[in-house]
Amino acid sequence: MLFKNALIENSETPQDIRVENGIIQEIGSLESKNEEQIIDLQHKLVLPPFIESHVHLDTCLTAGDPVWNQSGTLFEGIECWSKRKEKLSEEDITERVNKVVRMYAANGIQFIRTHIDITDPSLMALKTMLKLRGTLKDIMEIQIVAFPQDGILSFPNGKQLLTEAVMMGADAVGAIPHIEYTREYSVESLDFALNLAAEHGKLVDIHCDEIDDEASRGLETAAARALELGLFDKVTASHTTAMHSYNNAYVLRLMRLLKKSRINFVSNPLVNTHLQGRIDNYPKRRGITRVKELLAEGINVSFGHDDIYDPWYPMGNGSLRDVVFLGLHVCQMMGYEEIMDSYKLISHNAAKTLHITERYGIEVNKPASFIILDAENYYEALTRDSVVLSSYKNGKIIAENTPSQRKLMF
């Protein structure tokens, strides 16, 4: 199969991509072979597939069931979820995850890292998700984080449940230091989680300081342990919204450790601008971690959705375009190059976080997985909200969209 005239990753020079047996064989100015199928991309933008680096698939598509979160706060969200939780079953999770994964696939996403709540003695959601990881693998590669929503030290048998989740096959170990009852528990929970990951060769993804409290300092402990245990970029700090409120002198000191530790960051602009700053009068904090400053220091940051249509976030359609669009605004990253490069926040940077770079990217000898957008470059795609025309995974087409048409009668 020969894809002609592709504008790969904002390049202005069209190139051709030859795919055989699901692998990219050649890239360049290529002549077609006998009886080879030719697809003329007509100077459309070709990108590596998008990656959702942070979502909670077990809560997706439950907004308003049985009640709506009227205030929109995190705490009312928790109340709504406790009512919805009573209805959780394998069938319920399977049905919702199947739907939401297809929404993602239609928008060019081929990899998802999902956090799954394991503060449930039956571990039902995790068991269901482990099955779905297998059944959905041809359309979506799913990475599962064992997520201790109510804490590791502050939930009965938290350590045991987390260990069990890892033994059952979770890909990454989670933690939530700012939810633990005390500062001491917070530190101990991180020690436990990172040691568990080191022992079992797992990745780590922490819900880290998702709070407007400038004294919430889980991040420094996570980074220090990542460095000391040699886990480095196997560790990811998600949210880190408290960093928005840290004083600059502290951040200056912290940056040194963050760079040495090589940990990744995931920021979730849609959900955190919605949930943070709720106890402020005016001025109200944006509640977004220091994405621009982290990137300037060479630290890896990706963007995630976090929630899709659930008690904490009543919107979301599985398109990471909106995540990038809002993220660029609230992080004040609207320079020309920043806009052009912003697709990396949901592609290459996320691939580093998921540790899949060796089989990711539009390069010879890598899997023929890429997406074609109805635009010439990402600036245009983002501004015009261009659709993903098609998504190829291992050489097979898994999703196709047709651009909508508008008629003006004047």
Question: Residue 197 CB, nearest distance to Fe ion (Å)?
Answer: 18
Stretch that binds Fe ion, among 7-15, 35-43, 45-53, 298-306 (CB under 5 A): 298-306
How many residues touch Fe ion under the rule CB under 5 A: the total is 1
Name the residue nearer to Fe ion (CB basis): 323 or 388.
Answer: 323
Q: Is 180 in the site for Fe ion (CB under 5 A)?
A: no
Q: Does 117 bind Fe ion (CB under 5 A)?
A: no
Q: Which two tokens stand for residue 191?
A: 């020690």
Question: How far apart are the C-alpha atoms of 141 and 264, rounded to whole Å?
Answer: 20
The span from the CA of 163 to the CA of 197, in Å, is: 9
Distance of CA 310 to the CA centre of its chain: 17
Segment interacting with Fe ion (CB under 5 A) among 163-171, 223-231, 281-289, 299-307? 299-307
- Among all chains, which residue has been given the structure tokens 């990402």? 378
User: Tokens standing for 215?
Assistant: 């004294």
Per the CB < 8 A criterion, the answer to whether 177 and 151 are in contact is no
Contact of 174 with 145, CB cutoff 8 Å = yes
Query: Are 387 and 373 spatial neighbours (Cβ–Cβ below 8 Å)?
Result: yes
52 lies in the site for Fe ion, by CB under 5 A: no
* Distance of closest approach, residue 238 Cβ to Fe ion, in angstroms: 6
For Fe ion, give the closer residue by CB, 220 or 306.
306
Nearer to Fe ion, 141 or 306 (CB): 306
Q: Which is nearer to Fe ion, 104 or 378 (CB)?
A: 104
Span from 37-45, 174-182, 302-310, 339-347 in contact with Fe ion (CB under 5 A): 302-310
Which residues in 98-132 are b (16+ Cβ under 10 Å) and which e? eebbbbbbbbbbbbbbbbbbbbbeebebbbbbbeb
Q: How far is CA 285 from CA 325, 328, 333, in A?
A: 19, 16, 17
Give me the residue whose beta carbon is nearest to Fe ion: 306
Q: Report the residue number, 58 or 306, with the smaller CB distance to Fe ion.
A: 306
Catalytic residues: 210
Provide the minimum distance between the beta carbon of 266 and Fe ion in the complex, in angstroms, as a whole number.
9
- Least distance CB 312 / Fe ion (angstroms): 9
**Distances from the Cα of 402 to the Cα of 54, 107, 139, 357, 374, angstroms:** 28, 12, 20, 30, 9
Distances (CA, A) of 297 to 231, 264, 319, 334: 20, 12, 28, 18
Question: For residues 9 and 306, which CB has a smaller minimum distance to Fe ion in the complex?
Answer: 306
Task: Between 209 and 306, name the residue whose CB sits nearer to Fe ion.
Answer: 306
CB of 19 to Fe ion, least distance (A): 36
Q: Phi, psi (5° rounding) for residue 312?
A: -95, -20
Binding segment for Fe ion (CB under 5 A), chosen from 149-157, 278-286, 301-309, 393-401, is 301-309
Q: How far is the CB of 306 from Fe ion (least distance, A)?
A: 5
Which of 306, 310, 341, 374 contacts Fe ion by CB under 5 A?
306
Q: How far is the CB of 250 from Fe ion (least distance, A)?
A: 24
How far apart, in Å, do the first and last CA atoms of the chain sit? 43
Contacts to Fe ion by CB under 5 A: 306
